[in-house]
Structure 1
Amino acid sequence: MTTAIPGPVHTDEALSWLVDAGIARAEAGLHREPYVRDADRPLINLASNDYLGLSTHPDVIAGAHAAIDLWGTGSTSSRLVCGTTRLHSDLENELADFLGAPAALVFSSGYLANIGAITALAGRGGLIVSDTGTHASLIDGCRLSRARVVVVDRGDHEAVRSVLAERTETRALVVTDSIYSVDGEPAPIRELYAAARDHGAALLVDEAHALGVRGPGGSGLVAESGVAGAPDLVVTGVLSKSFGAQGGLVAGSAVLRGHLIDTARTFIFDTGLNPAAAGAALAALRLLRARPDYPQRLRANAVRLAERCGAPTPSAAVISLIVGDPHKAVAAALACRERGVLVGCFRPPSVEPGTSRLRLTVRADLDDATLDHVGDVVLEALREVGATVR
């Protein structure tokens, strides 16, 4: 008698666990729903990272329009096929000059720039030393690199030295944000660079929240720290914050640029940055270089709003109001929105459990009366939901 071997059991409910997972997130106050903005119902926006207010500046909009008129709406292919226009080349050359670096390479997003740079510079048999404050794109780059990753406390350059001194790997890369995205605090760039150089490692600094905010003319914390263009230094950044457009960048030596072109998968296999974004970013960069007062105005606005909210003096353009409970953070953000002010609401996994918060990102184009009004609205909303700021 032959015994039938049972075949695989098929079911239409393989993803039924998603329902329970969604319920658990909602009960924990971690459900998210994209907020849809309407052009005819504008709010005072302190949730975006449009630090200089350039996304709606006439010159930046004109730059996008001119690029579309000349090159069309899409780059149509990867940068290595035919997706690189003269506009991309001009943008890269001017970004490199602005950052004080020999060369720059533009990616279609900051997320892809970080992943591409890290995975191209570190791999099996290598070491990455990162810290607890890094952005998700840096974390994902570390994971995808297949290198050994050691995480140290944020800004602890002595811990970085210790890890590098004890390593057995030939190649090592230190990774950090220059301005930490959640609370706007700066990293000790000079000390981290010294630690890396003393132990034969390279330093990668993500300047996403520092460009247009800190440094001479808004050229970033690396320039402010006096190490712009230094050997074994890699700078990444975005075109979607102070430049009001979209895209990412990596700046460093000409050899680095060539290596990324040949090996960075997020450059090789991704469609190039669209012409409108490149044109807008180039116009914003030129505007920033002509108006070095923009970053000064931005930082003054951040100080004024922080004082109005009773928060510590900020180091950049981010004001973080920690309330702890995610439900209260969501409620406070909604109460602000109902009063015409849009603020960020950060909850796990963006922040550590128990540190949910309102995150206010200041802009250079806001006047004093608007800033004072925003401060009053935020405080009123916090009181309404019974949230206490730590």
Structure 2
Amino acid sequence: MEHNDPLARLRVAAAARDAAGLRRAARPRTPDHDGLIDLASNDYLGLSRDPRLIAAAVRATERWGTGSTGSRLVTGTTGVHAELEERLAAFAAAPRALVFSSGYLANLAAVATLGAGGLVVSDAGNHASIIDACRLSRSRVVVTPRKDASAVAKVLADREEEHALVVTDAVFSVDGDLAPVAEMHAAARAHGALLVVDEAHSLGVVGDGGRGAVHDAGLAGAPDVVRTVTLSKSLGSQGGAVLGAPEVVETLIDTGRPFIFDTALAPAAAAAALAAIDIVGGHPDLPRQARDNASALARMAGDRGLATADPAAAVVPVVLGPPDAAVRAAAMLAELGVRAGCFRPPSVPSGRSCLRLTARANLSSDDLVVIGRALTAVAEMKVNV
């Protein structure tokens, strides 16, 4: 057999994706989202363009330069990184914090390092970064049904491995519902397992002052709970972090490959996240505003026959079924002044393609009127298909 064209299979696969409505493209946007109301980004508190964050990033750039210049263990740790870790831990009532250059890497480090050589029990609804981390752990991985603490307990009870780790999103990134954190922790603790909770979509939105789902469940200081967070959503910046006991942080520093071998977060991003923590800490109403606006979006969708549950945080899904229906709906919203996320397989299961509407604390009443008209058009389109 001749092997003359190593790219032929890629063209065939691309054609198949095209036929299935699964082609993607990275399209540059303008600074004002092309004049559209933004319901697509993860800027839940509307801080990404806040002048205070921008000023903090500029000052850090002028002092430290544009890049961190190296990995955290060589030249990449600055005073800004150290202060961010201290303040982030204090905000979330965590013993320690360790900053990474992305939330994705924080998950890879936490799960792959802490779960290595044992059993990892992962919720079926978990984010892709957790799935990849499970694979990298080289451990036995068992996927349990969404939010099923009893299934987790059974897997842990039946295990032969000496140590185990349970991992779940706090708020699931597409459906927007809240994991039963307290029940998951009870199952993990009863069987001597460590619980890792990804708070990417809950920090800054869920609980008292936006301190997250683990804090809201009364588990912020629990030594057997590890939290991963992102700085790129509610905090309007870039990067991620792991929050946990000193033993957890020290293990990641000593052995966590995504920490040891990655170039550190740029000082500008660390400084912007620091400014965001100050703002959220001083304005505890911001998380409630984001949740209230999410509830308003859900009510509007439900009133128009686009059924969706009351959201736990800022994510509101509108399930449309096939990929082409979601693509058409997203295009229709854009024509009517609204930018929404369009999620298709593999981001969601087959038959669950959807619009993902993400609320922001700074949505105005005028914004909600425009969004309501756009959702009416989507509902009419769905009925007429």
Superposition TM-score, scaled by structure 2 size: 0.96
Structure-2 residue corresponding to 1:24 = 16
Partner of 2:137: 145
Which amino acid in 1 is paired with 2:325?
K
- For residue 327 of structure 2, what is the aligned residue in structure 1? 330
Aligned residue for 1:282, secondary structure, equals helix
Distance across 2 between alignment mates of 1:381 and 1:101: 43
1:46 equivalent in structure 2: 39
- Asked whether the equivalents of residues 337 and 370 of structure 2 are also in contact (C-alpha less than 8 Å), the reply is no
> 1:5 maps to which residue?
none
Q: 2:350 is aligned with what amino acid?
A: P
What's 1:317 paired with? Answer: 314
Residues 270 and 387 of structure 1, relative CA distance in 2, 3 Å threshold? farther
Per-residue CA deviation, residues 170-189 of structure 1 (Å, 9 max, x unaligned), is: 01000000100011100000
Q: Distance in 2 between matches of 1:376 and 1:67?
A: 43
Alignment partner for residue 66 of structure 1, among 31, 40, 59?
Answer: 59
- Stretches of structure 1 that go unaligned for 5 or more consecutive residues are 1-7
| Bigger Rg, which one | 1
Output one character per residue of 1:275-307: Cα deviation in whole Å (capped at 9) or x when no partner. 111011000011100000000111111111211
Query: In the alignment, what sits opposite 2:88?
Result: 95
SS of the equivalent of 1:82 reads: coil
Output the amino acid matched with 1:363: R
Deviation, 1:361, is 0.2
Residue type of the alignment partner of 2:61: I
Q: Secondary structure at the match of 2:38?
A: strand
1:368 partnered with 2:365: yes
- Which whole-Å CA distance do the structure 2 matches of 1:386 and 1:276 have between them? 48
2:262 is matched with which residue?
Answer: 270
1:39, 1:201 → 2: CA distance?
45
Distance 1:127 1:164 in 2: 8
Q: CA RMSD in A?
A: 1.4
Question: Judging changes above 3 Å, is the alpha-carbon distance between structure 1 residues 334 and 197 closer, same or farther for their aligned structure 2 residues?
Answer: same
Aligned to 1:287: 279
Unaligned runs of 5+ in 2: 303-307
Q: Secondary structure at the match of 1:281?
A: helix
Which residue is 1:347 aligned to? 344
2:305 aligned partner: none
Q: Name the count of aligned residue pairs.
A: 379
Shift of 1:382: 4.2
| Separation in structure 1 between the aligned mates of residue 261 and residue 312 of structure 2, nearest angstrom | 37
1:42-93 Cα shifts (integer Å, max 9, x gaps)? 3211000000000011111111111111111100100000100000000000
Distance 1:79 1:357 in 2: 39
Moved >6 Å (runs of 4+) = none
For residues 196-240 of structure 1, what are the alpha-carbon distances to aligned partners after superposition, in whole Å with 9 as ceiling and x for unaligned?
011010000000000011011100000100111102110001000
